[in-house]
């Protein structure tokens, strides 16, 4: 019956966690003609959506209103409605704890919520990024507590999210989707479901392979970013511009892919996934020296940025203690309003501890509220104007949003520490620009 419902688009779809992954996915599923209900514990999110308001900057209100008007989309905090769903997709966070070990609380809590309402003929799909084995070792174990048999009574699959917020070239629909079940029947149903809503699927034999593929994607990025971050430091000592070097190297039509240095890693995947794999590898007695070294390099970049700032403040006769410093861009990525794992927060925290007077500006983030990692941090975005910029001893560009007035910034600032090569075109102001 479930297969018939999926193929006829009569299946009701529940998406748990309607943030940067779950909301675009919900819209895409709804666009395909399925009835979709977004589940979230955040009442503010569900209320906004049901009013036709978006909280993700690159998803306009009109898109939400359109989906509501079709009657194919709604949002709720009532998890008892999971009983009515035929397919349940889990899109909850998988952060690290204070020891840099996997924090599966949100996955476990969600699996328990589903377990308490699980019925026969439901398909559950985990999309959260995690270590190989999570779907069958953690989620399946919890769902099996119902006495229902996976593959006969209910079905379980893994399909890692591949969202790239604000990417104009690729959408949820067009990004190829890895799909695998914990058993053959589950995999078949999941593949049928995603084949209807997405442009292309990439089937794998089992969930562990799919989980490992997602980890590989992000470990690959983390290691290559660590490489160019280390080269940036080396080349800087040699008086060589890393950005020009990368630009030249990427002209090679084969055997090279460009990665770029920065102030550290941010986002919900790349800074986290290497630690997930390293933690799991330890259970098998396998060292992950290469991966751990990359993590160390990337996590050291905020200190490098601060050292460069301090060094160049000294040239202007200033100490970092008591200096007025403006951090521009606190989002982890340009043109989004997401601060998860943002290196900007680390930089701000370290500057405050060095007794600098710190401000920030970000057109997408009006306020930085306390987080688990930075419980004391509470700041509001400062308005950029000539007088304010002129009063700063240093400006650090952490996130190079497209809609910033770079001309105003470079003209009115005394010292610019550029971590993104955002001011490469302003040759006349090189005397006050430090690439870091």
CATH code: domain of residue 386: 3.40.50.720
Q: Is the pTM of this model over 0.85?
A: yes
Task: Assess whether 367 and 427 both reside in one domain.
Answer: yes
Cβ burial of 190 (10 Å; 0-12, 13-18, 19+) is buried
Tokens of 141: 């174990």
**Distances in Å between the alpha carbon of 116 and those of 77, 145, 186?**
16, 9, 20
Cα–Cα distance for residue pair 347/369, rounded to 1 Å? 16
| Neighbour count for residue 426 (Cβ, 10 Å) | 17
- Please tell me which residue in 12, 91, 150, 269 is annotated as part of the active site: 269
Residue 269 annotated to the active site: yes
Task: Assess whether 130 and 275 both reside in one domain.
Answer: no
Q: Is residue 25 part of a domain?
A: yes
Q: Is residue 213 part of a domain?
A: no
Task: Assess whether 170 and 246 both reside in one domain.
Answer: no
Quick one: pLDDT at residue 171? 93
Cα–Cα distance for residue pair 150/41, rounded to 1 Å? 27
pLDDT tens by residue, 183-195: 999 999 999 999 9
pLDDT tens by residue, 163-178: 888 888 999 999 999 9
Task: Assess whether 257 and 190 both reside in one domain.
Answer: no
Looking at 155, 189, 205, the residue that finishes a domain is 205
Q: Is residue 266 part of a domain?
A: yes
Q: Is residue 217 part of a domain?
A: no
Task: Assess whether 415 and 284 both reside in one domain.
Answer: yes
Looking at 179, 205, 231, the residue that finishes a domain is 205
Q: Is residue 212 part of a domain?
A: no
pLDDT tens by residue, 20-51: 999 999 999 999 999 999 999 999 999 999 99
Q: Is residue 323 part of a domain?
A: yes
The answer to whether residue 364 scores a pLDDT higher than 70 is yes
Cα–Cα distance for residue pair 311/305, rounded to 1 Å? 10
> Collapsing DSSP states into helix, strand and coil, what is residue 413?
coil
User: Within a 13 Å sphere around the CA of 2, how many CA atoms are in the beta-carbon half?
Assistant: 26
Tokens of 278: 């390293």
Quick one: pLDDT at residue 96? 83
Task: Assess whether 63 and 192 both reside in one domain.
Answer: yes
Structural domain containing residue 81 = 2-205
Task: Assess whether 150 and 253 both reside in one domain.
Answer: no
State the total domains in the chain.
Answer: 2
**Mean pLDDT, residues 300-328:** 96
Task: Assess whether 198 and 251 both reside in one domain.
Answer: no
**Mean pLDDT, residues 84-92:** 98
Task: Assess whether 201 and 249 both reside in one domain.
Answer: no
Q: Is residue 220 part of a domain?
A: no
Report the share of the chain in percent with pLDDT over 90. 89
Quick one: pLDDT at residue 167? 86
> Collapsing DSSP states into helix, strand and coil, what is residue 91?
coil
Please, what sign has the CA dihedral across residues 202, 203, 205, 208? Answer: positive
Cα–Cα distance for residue pair 349/305, rounded to 1 Å? 13
The answer to whether residue 226 scores a pLDDT higher than 80 is yes
Task: Assess whether 14 and 145 both reside in one domain.
Answer: yes
User: Within a 13 Å sphere around the CA of 207, how many CA atoms are in the beta-carbon half?
Assistant: 30
**Mean pLDDT, residues 69-91:** 97
DSSP secondary structure, 167-231, as one string: -SS--TTTS-EEEEESSHHHHHHHHHHHHHHSS-EEE-SSHHHHHHHHHHHHHHHHHHHHHHHHH
Looking at 158, 176, 205, the residue that finishes a domain is 205
Task: Assess whether 247 and 201 both reside in one domain.
Answer: no
Cβ burial of 382 (10 Å; 0-12, 13-18, 19+) is middle
Q: Is residue 231 part of a domain?
A: no
**Mean pLDDT, residues 79-98:** 94
- Asked if 238 contacts 248 with a C-beta cutoff of 8 angstroms, the reply is no
Task: Assess whether 200 and 246 both reside in one domain.
Answer: no
**Distances in Å between the alpha carbon of 37 and those of 32, 71, 80, 136?**
14, 10, 12, 25
Beta-strand relationship, 201-203 and 155-158: unpaired
The answer to whether residue 270 scores a pLDDT higher than 80 is no
């Amino acid at each position: 019956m479930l297969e018939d419902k999926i193929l006829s688009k009569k299946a009701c779809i529940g998406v748990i966690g309607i943030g940067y992954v779950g909301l675009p996915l919900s819209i895409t599923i709804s666009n395909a003609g399925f009835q979709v209900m977004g589940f979230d514990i955040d009442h503010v999110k569900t209320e906004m959506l049901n009013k036709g308001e978006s909280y993700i900057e690159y998803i306009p209100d009109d898109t939400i209103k359109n989906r509501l008007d079709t009657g194919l989309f709604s949002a709720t905090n009532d998890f008892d409605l999971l009983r009515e769903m035929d397919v349940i997709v889990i899109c909850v966070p998988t952060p690290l704890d204070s020891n840099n070990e996997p924090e599966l609380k949100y996955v476990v809590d969600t699996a328990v919520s589903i377990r308490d309402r699980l019925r026969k003929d439901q398909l559950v799909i985990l999309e959260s990024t995690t270590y190989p084995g999570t779907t069958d070792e953690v989620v399946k174990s919890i769902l099996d507590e119902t006495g229902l048999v996976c593959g006969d009574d209910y079905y379980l699959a893994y399909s890692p999210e591949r969202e790239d917020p604000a990417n104009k070239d690729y959408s949820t629909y067009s990004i190829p989707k890895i799909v695998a079940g914990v058993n053959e029947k589950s995999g078949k149903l999941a593949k049928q479901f995603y084949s209807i809503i997405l442009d292309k699927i990439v089937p794998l034999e089992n969930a562990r392979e799919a989980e490992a593929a997602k980890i590989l994607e992000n470990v690959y990025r983390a290691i290559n970013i660590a490489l160019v971050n280390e080269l940036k430091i080396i080349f800087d000592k040699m008086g060589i511009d890393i950005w020009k070097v990368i630009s030249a190297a990427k002209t090679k039509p084969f055997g090279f892919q460009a990665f770029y240095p920065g102030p550290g890693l941010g986002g919900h995947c790349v800074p986290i996934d290497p630690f997930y794999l390293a933690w799991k590898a330890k259970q098998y007695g396998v060292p992950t020296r290469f991966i751990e070294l990359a993590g160390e390099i990337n996590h050291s970049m905020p200190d490098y940025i601060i050292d460069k700032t301090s060094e160049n403040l000294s040239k202007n006769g200033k100490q970092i203690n008591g200096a007025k410093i403006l951090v521009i861009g606190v989002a982890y990525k340009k043109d989004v309003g997401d601060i998860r794992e943002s290196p900007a927060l680390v930089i701000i925290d370290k500057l405050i501890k060095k007794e600098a007077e710190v401000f920030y500006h970000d057109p997408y983030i009006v306020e930085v509220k306390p987080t688990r990692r930075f419980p004391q941090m509470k700041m509001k975005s400062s308005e950029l104007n000539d007088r304010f910029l002129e009063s700063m001893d240093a400006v650090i560009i952490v996130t190079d949003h497209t809609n910033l007035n770079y001309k105003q910034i470079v003209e009115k600032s005394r010292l610019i520490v550029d971590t993104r090569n955002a001011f490469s075109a302003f040759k006349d102001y090189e005397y006050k620009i430090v690439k870091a």
